[in-house]
Structure 1
C-alpha cells in the first residue's frame, strides 16, 4: 500500500518530465516509506502488547501470529527493530539532502517516524483517541504523494494528492474493518478506537462510505477531465468492494483487514496502470 501511495507522487513528478535521477530518488523514497510503515506496525504490536490490548485471545492473533505472543521475538527486540527502521528512514532523508540539497527529504523524514510513533507509542496515541483512521487517510491520501513529489522535484505542492485522495479512503477502510471486527474485544480491554466510540452500526456505515467514495470520486473527476479517462479501469474492483460491504453487514470476518487490503491494492494498482497508460499516450 505504501509503494502505491508514493507512486502517485512519482507519477506527478514524471508529468514534469523525465530526468535520470528520478528513478534513484523514487527508490530511496519508497524504501524510506516502507521503513516508516514497518516501524508503525512494529511499534503498534509493541505498545498494544504493553498496554495489555494484544493478548492471545485477541482477534488479530487468530489470523496471523503476533510476533511477541508467538515468542518469535522479545518485546525489547521488536522495539529495537521498530526504532532502527525509523532511524534508517530518517538517514535516507538526510542522504537526499546531502546529495541533492533537497531539504524536503529531512522534513518528511522526520514527519514519517513521528506519525508512526504517535499512532500507538504515545500517551496521546492517535489510535486510542479515535484518530487512527484519520491519520491513515492523511498519510496515504496526502503525505506520501505530496512528500514523494517534493523529495523528487524539490517543489512542495498539494496537486499530487488529487490522485491519492481516493486511495486514502480505502487505506482508512482497512483500519475501520479491523476496528469494527474488534469492537467487543477492544471495549473489554479499554481500547477506545473510533469504532468502539461510535458502535458497530455507525462503524459499518463509515466503512461503506470509505469503500464507495473512491469510486464515486474517480467517476466524477474523470467526467470533469481532472483524472485521465484511463483510470476508469480502477472501477473493476468495485464489484469486490460492494460484495464485501454486503458480507460485512451479515458478519464481520476474522480476516477483515486483509480482505480490505486486497481491495485497496487492486484499486491502487489499476489506478496506477491507468495513469501509466495516459502518460505513455501523451
Structure 2
C-alpha cells in the first residue's frame, strides 16, 4: 500500500512532468501575432485565433512528450524522475501519444489553411515542427550540439508570430519583427536556464549545451546580457517608432528579470538551488509578452 507521503511525492513529480507553466510559450506567440494584427487592422478574427491557440498547445505537448522519449533513448534523463517516460515506464505509449498530439495540432492548422484557402500558415507551422524535431529527434539531435537555443528563437519568435499574424490578415508585415525578437529572446532564455542544473548529466551523455560549453559562471553572465538586450530592444523600438508607446508596459516585468539574474549569479553552480530558474524565466516571458500584446491593443 502506498503511503500518503509517497502519493504526495508522486503527484509532485507528475505536476513537474506536465510542465503546465511552460505552455505559455505556445500561447504567447499566438497572442502577440493576433494583437499586432488587431492593432494594424482594427479587428480580430476569433475562430482562427481559437484554432491556432488549441493547435499550438497540442504541438507543444508533442514536442515535450517526444523529447522525453528521445532523451530516454540516450540515457540523459536517467536522473530526471519527473520525465513522463520514467514515471510511466511506457516509452512506446508516450511516443504514440505524442504523435497523436502532433496530428491533432496539425489538423487544427490545416483547418485554418483550408477555410482561408491559403496554405501559408500550414507551411510555416510545418517548418516549426521540422525544426522542433531536429532539436532532439534522431538522427539530428541538434540540441546535443548546442543548437537548441537558435532553433528555439527562430520557431517561437519570427516563425510562430508570423504564422499567427498571417492567420489574421493573410499577409506579412515588417511590423512583427520587434515583438518576434522580444518573444524569441524570452522564450530562448527559458531553454537556456533549463541547462544549468543538469550539466553533469549533459556531459555524461555527450550533450554540449551552451552552458556545458561556456561553464555556469559565464553562462550566468549571459543571462544578464539577454535580459539587458530584451529591455534595450524594447525601449529602442518604442523610441524609433517601431513599437507603440503603450508597449512600455512590458517594463513592468523587470522585477522578474532582476530576480532571475541575481539568482543565477548567486547559485549558477548549485543544481538544487538553480533547478527551478527556468520557471522564473517563464514568469518573465509570460508577463512581458502579455503586456506587450496589451500595449498593442491599447
TM over 0.5: yes
1:82-121 equivalent positions in 2, closer than 5 A: 82-121=98-137
5+ residue gaps, structure 1, are: 278-282
Which of 288, 291, 295 is equivalent to 1:270?
Answer: 291
- Distance (whole Å) between structure 1 residues aligned to residue 219 and residue 226 of structure 2: 10
2:150 corresponds to: 134
Q: Is structure 2 residue 32 aligned with structure 1 residue 8?
A: yes
5+ residue gaps, structure 2, are: 1-24, 269-273
1:1-282 equivalent positions in 2, closer than 5 A: 1-18=25-42, 22-55=45-78, 57-58=79-80, 61=81, 65-71=82-88, 74-252=90-268, 253-277=274-298
Q: What is the aligned length?
A: 269
- Distance (whole Å) between structure 2 residues aligned to residue 89 and residue 205 of structure 1: 37
Shift of 1:146: 0.4
- Distance (whole Å) between structure 2 residues aligned to residue 221 and residue 141 of structure 1: 16
SS at 1:79 equivalent: helix
- Distance (whole Å) between structure 2 residues aligned to residue 106 and residue 140 of structure 1: 15
SS at 1:49 equivalent: helix
Cα root mean square deviation, aligned: 1.8
1:92-137 CA-partner distances (Å, limit 9, x unpaired)? 2322232220111331242232122111012211211211111111
Shift of 1:232: 1.1
SS at 1:98 equivalent: helix
Shift of 1:77: 1.2
Structure 1, 43-52 or 221-230: larger mean CA deviation = 221-230
- Distance (whole Å) between structure 1 residues aligned to residue 214 and residue 139 of structure 2: 22
Given the two structures, how large is their TM-score scaled by the length of structure 1? Answer: 0.89
Given the two structures, how large is their TM-score scaled by the length of structure 2? Answer: 0.84
Shift of 1:18: 4.9
- Distance (whole Å) between structure 2 residues aligned to residue 209 and residue 184 of structure 1: 25
The question of whether the paired residues in 1 share the 8 Å contact of 2:32 and 2:292 is answered with: no
- Distance (whole Å) between structure 1 residues aligned to residue 207 and residue 83 of structure 2: 18
Structure with the larger helix share: 2
2:19 corresponds to: none
